[in-house]
């Protein structure tokens, strides 16, 4: 069993959250802004694009390119922090809730977790990085506790640790990207009326290649799903239609430097497809769970602010919808341009959640 606290334990300040996605590396640094537990200040944030295929399906395929992007984003941000919280894609991590006897010592817990893990992990234990967290008393037994087990192939964890070290950083915390996103979402939910109590909240993170769907109720995840739809499909349409390279198409998509026919020929069909994906996902949630409603829908990711998408999703789903900002309610540091942040914020949900690990 690995040294849990070295990789997945509590973080010591200062610390940056670094989100390595398919298309880019994003960095966030937060600081305590007051005496309250949730009083934070956004000190710095930055992003660097990744070359195509440097990261594929969450796997680091070109270590040198990813290391260079992490170095650039660290320098661009202006941070002095050398400790980093990194994320693992959910598909790379096996999680399982298990029940164990209460009153065990830490050493006894480790032995019990390792024994239980062998039943759920399809790899030899010496090939995995393993961690656990005590959730609390078991619901149906006062003599037992509920424990969350998390395991990943060791080389996948070591790849991210190696990226940090080669970039001059130290991987202090390794989290699951979906858990990091949920931590950032929990902050936003807490600012809803009655802190969102009893509200069923759906989060759609539309990335470059996939859309991550999470549905939460009172801080607990009741549904998760991944759909193969993302912003790269629009980029590929631009490549085919206008004869551009992928990188040039991606750049022009962001700047809007495209022919007048772009909106009618490509953007409108993409928005229709995105809204259809969201609508289908909501319907699948209804048919595969006991739940029959969603009270609030949040859009996140690089595509969330495409003009017209929010309105189309709200119209098709008939659900109260908003583009999420993980920094809502935070103070803004002097190094941050607030006008630019409004455009960038939805893409930083995971990086913000990782940065929150600085505070436990």
Query: How far is Cα 103 from Cα 60, in angstroms, rounded to an integer?
Result: 41
Residue 13 confidence (pLDDT): 65
Query: How far is Cα 131 from Cα 7, in angstroms, rounded to an integer?
Result: 9
Whether the predicted pLDDT of 120 surpasses 90: no
Query: How far is Cα 236 from Cα 52, in angstroms, rounded to an integer?
Result: 12
Please report, rounded to a whole number, the percentage of residues in the chain having pLDDT higher than 90: 71
Residue 119 confidence (pLDDT): 84
pLDDT 10s digits, 188-223: 999 999 999 999 999 999 998 999 999 999 988 999
Burial class from Cβ neighbours inside 10 Å (0-12, 13-18, 19+) for residue 113 reads buried
The band of 172, judged by pLDDT with boundaries at 50, 70 and 90, is very high
How many CB atoms neighbour CB 20 within 10 A?
A: 27
Whether the predicted pLDDT of 167 surpasses 80: yes
The better pLDDT of the pair 45, 58 is held by 45
- CB–CB of 234/270 below 8 Å? yes
- CB–CB of 235/270 below 8 Å? no
pLDDT 10s digits, 82-118: 999 999 998 889 888 889 999 888 888 888 888 888 8
Query: In the structure encoding, which two tokens stand for residue 111, read together?
Result: 């032995």
Cα 126–Cα 128–Cα 129 angle in degrees, nearest 5 = 115
Q: Mean pLDDT for the chain? A: 91
Nearest to 131 by CA among 283, 7, 257: 7
Residue 122 confidence (pLDDT): 83
Whether the predicted pLDDT of 5 surpasses 60: no
Whether the predicted pLDDT of 36 surpasses 90: no
Residue 37 confidence (pLDDT): 62
Burial class from Cβ neighbours inside 10 Å (0-12, 13-18, 19+) for residue 142 reads exposed
Neighbouring-strand partners of residue 212: 205, 226
Query: How far is Cα 164 from Cα 162, in angstroms, rounded to an integer?
Result: 5
Residue carrying structure tokens 């990789």: 7
Whether the predicted pLDDT of 52 surpasses 50: yes
Q: Are strands 15-20 and 211-217 parallel, antiparallel or unpaired?
A: unpaired
Residue 139 confidence (pLDDT): 84
Nearest to 242 by CA among 253, 255, 254, 231: 253
Burial class from Cβ neighbours inside 10 Å (0-12, 13-18, 19+) for residue 314 reads middle
Whether the predicted pLDDT of 1 surpasses 50: no
Residue 7 confidence (pLDDT): 43
The better pLDDT of the pair 77, 133 is held by 77
How many CB atoms neighbour CB 108 within 10 A?
A: 12
Domains of the chain: 92-154 (3.30.1490.300), 192-327 (3.30.420.40)
The band of 35, judged by pLDDT with boundaries at 50, 70 and 90, is confident
Whether the predicted pLDDT of 9 surpasses 50: no
Neighbouring-strand partners of residue 151: 94, 130
Query: How far is Cα 17 from Cα 21, in angstroms, rounded to an integer?
Result: 13
pLDDT 10s digits, 231-275: 999 999 999 999 999 989 988 988 889 999 999 999 999 999 999
pLDDT 10s digits, 306-345: 999 999 999 999 999 999 999 999 999 999 999 999 999 9
């Amino acid at each position: 069993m690995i040294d849990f606290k070295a990789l997945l334990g509590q973080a010591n300040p200062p610390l940056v959250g670094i989100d390595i996605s398919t298309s880019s590396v994003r960095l966030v640094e937060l600081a305590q802004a007051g005496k309250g537990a949730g009083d934070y200040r956004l000190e710095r944030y930055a992003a660097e694009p990744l070359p195509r295929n440097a990261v594929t399906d969450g796997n680091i395929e070109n270590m040198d390119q990813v290391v260079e992007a992490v170095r650039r984003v660290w320098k661009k941000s202006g941070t002095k922090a050398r400790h980093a919280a990194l994320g693992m894609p959910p598909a790379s991590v096996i999680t399982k809730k298990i029940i164990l006897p209460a009153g065990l010592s830490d050493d006894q817990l480790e032995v019990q977790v390792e024994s239980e893990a062998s039943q759920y992990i399809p790899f030899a234990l010496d090939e995995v990085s393993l961690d656990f967290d005590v959730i609390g008393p078991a619901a149906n037994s006062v003599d037992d506790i509920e424990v969350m087990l998390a395991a990943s192939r060791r080389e996948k964890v070591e790849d991210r640790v190696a990226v940090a070290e080669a970039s001059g950083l130290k991987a202090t915390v390794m989290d699951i990207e979906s858990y990091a996103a949920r931590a950032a979402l929990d902050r936003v939910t807490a600012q809803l009326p009655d802190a969102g109590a009893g509200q069923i909240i759906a989060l759609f993170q539309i990335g470059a290649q996939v859309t991550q769907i999470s549905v939460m109720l009172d801080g607990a995840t009741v549904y998760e799903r991944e759909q193969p739809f993302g912003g790269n499909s629009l980029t590929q349409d631009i490549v085919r239609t206008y004869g551009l390279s992928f990188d040039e198409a991606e750049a022009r998509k962001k700047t809007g430097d495209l022919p007048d026919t772009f909106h009618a020929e490509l953007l409108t069909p993409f928005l229709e497809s995105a809204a259809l994906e969201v609508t289908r996902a909501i319907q699948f949630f209804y048919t595969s769970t006991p739940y029959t409603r969603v009270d609030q829908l949040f859009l996140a990711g690089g595509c969330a602010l495409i003009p017209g998408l929010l309105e189309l999703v709200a119209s098709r789903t008939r659900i109260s919808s908003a583009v999420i900002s993980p920094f809502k309610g935070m103070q803004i540091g002097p190094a941050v341009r607030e006008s630019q942040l409004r455009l960038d914020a939805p893409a930083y949900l995971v990086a913000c959640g990782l940065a929150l690990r600085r505070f436990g």
